[in-house]
Structure 1
Amino acid sequence: MTFDVVGTLIDFEGGLKACLAEIAAETGIEIDGERALSLYREARYSGDADLFPDDLVRVYLTIAPTLGLPADRKYGERLRDSAKNWKGFADSTAALASLAKNYRLVAMTNARRWAFAFFEKELGNPFYAAFTADDTGTEKPDPAFFETVFAYIASEGHSKNDILHVAQSQHHDIGISRKLGLTNCWIERRHDQKGYGGTIEPAEFTTPDYHFTSMAGLSAAVAAARA
């Protein structure tokens, strides 16, 4: 099983909103978390974006004036460094531990390796292998990211036909995984919220092979199927 990490297993939206709220409180103002995510999404996916989460420094300086926050680089660096403390979704660790008993779990993240080290520890170190933006030299949905992983899977004696790709982002993962012929599973983390939050909206919706609103749902379905 291959997994997107940020947004699927790690609650990056909660982490971003919490850090921005702290900065706002210290400067005597309040911000709307969903509006902040919308502004983040627009800023994050600009043409001059850097690798994640280093790019959060630039993003903060871009969105701070609109939110009424101080446009000071130290706060941008604070937002970037908050990634070290982002939490996994409540069901992530247990679900991964259960799945790891019978499957090799491979992480595929657009985050840089330094940030992934914190995410992996937060999740209980469940991965057999991991690929980051530093390892692939690109970001999903670039097919080249997936091709790097396919080459690794082949070196292990398997093929992409053996993969179940699990992710929450229609744009970064579900659409491209379908085009590349993978079986996929959409974890719809925002099923009870409007819009796409901090994740870019896909050009078109892709109906996944499997669809759950949580990792717990996937884990339970796998356990039932194996039984």
Structure 2
Amino acid sequence: MTFDVVGTLIDFEAGLTSGLRAIAAEHGVELDAETALAIYGECRRDADAGKFPDDVARCYRTIAARLGLPLGEAHGARLVEAVADAPAFPDSVAALASLAGNFRLVAMTNARRWAFERYSKALGEPFFKSFTTDDTGTEKPDPAYFERVLSELSNDGVGKNEILHVAQSQYHDIGVSRQLGIANCWIERRHAQPGYGGTIAPAQFTEPDLHFTSLAGLAAAVEAG
């Protein structure tokens, strides 16, 4: 199983909104978290977007300007750290440990290596291999990212038809994995909330091969056979 990390296993929205709320509270600003997440998602689609989570500092300037938060490099750097320290979803660690009993787990993240190391530790270091944007030189949904991973895994005797790609982002993962003929599983983390939150919205929705609203649901289905 290959896994998206940020948004699927790690609750980056919680890290982002927690960091923003702390800054807002210090300056007497009432924060609308969903609006902040939507602005962040728009910002991440900019042509000049940088690597995650470093680019969060740039996005903070846009969020701050639109929501009345204080500007300043220190606040942006603080938000980068809040996102890099975002928590795992409550079901992630146990579900990954369960799945690791049946599959080799591979991380595929658009995060930089330095941030991924924090996320991996928070998840209990469950991965057989990991690929970051620093390793691939590109970001999902670029097919080249997936092709690099497929090439590396082929060296371990793993064929494309033996992989299930697990992710919450329709934009970054589900659509492109379908185009490349990789079986996929959509973990709909925002099933109880409207919209796509801090994740870039896809141009069109892709019906996944498997669909769960939690990683625990996937793990339970595997255990049930």
Q: TM-score, normalised by structure 1?
A: 0.98
**Cα distance between partner residues in 2 of 1:223 and 1:188:** 20
> 1:65 deviation in Å?
1.3
Runs of 4+ in 1 over 2 A off after TM superposition: none
Unaligned runs of 5+ in 1: none
Unaligned runs of 5+ in 2: none
> 1:81 deviation in Å?
1.2
**Cα distance between partner residues in 2 of 1:143 and 1:159:** 17
Percent identity between matched residues is 64
Q: TM-score, normalised by structure 2?
A: 0.99
Residue type of the alignment partner of 2:18: A
Contact 2:53/2:84 (8 A) holds in 1:
no
Question: Relative to structure 2, which stretch is displaced further, 80-89 or 188-197?
Answer: 80-89
Secondary structure at the aligned position of 1:89 is classed as coil
Matched length = 225
The residue correspondences of 1:28-107 to structure 2 (distance < 5 A) are 28-107=28-107
> 1:57 deviation in Å?
0.8
Secondary structure at the aligned position of 1:48 is classed as coil
Match of 2:203 in 1: 203
> 1:85 deviation in Å?
1.8
Match of 1:172 in 2: 172
Contact 2:8/2:189 (8 A) holds in 1:
yes
Residue type of the alignment partner of 2:69: L
**Cα distance between partner residues in 2 of 1:53 and 1:10:** 13
Question: Relative to structure 2, which stretch is displaced further, 178-187 or 82-91?
Answer: 82-91
Contact 2:18/2:82 (8 A) holds in 1:
no
| C-alpha RMSD of the superposition | 0.6
Cα deviation, 1:118-143, whole Å, max 9, x if unaligned, reads 00000000000000000000000000
> 1:84 deviation in Å?
3.3
> 1:83 deviation in Å?
2.6
**Cα distance between partner residues in 2 of 1:182 and 1:92:** 22
Cα deviation, 1:120-170, whole Å, max 9, x if unaligned, reads 000000000000000000000000000111011100012111000000000
**Cα distance between partner residues in 2 of 1:223 and 1:107:** 21
Secondary structure at the aligned position of 1:130 is classed as strand
**Cα distance between partner residues in 1 of 2:25 and 2:63:** 16
Secondary structure at the aligned position of 2:189 is classed as coil
Cα deviation, 1:193-220, whole Å, max 9, x if unaligned, reads 0000001111111100000000000000
Match of 1:151 in 2: 151
> 1:188 deviation in Å?
0.2
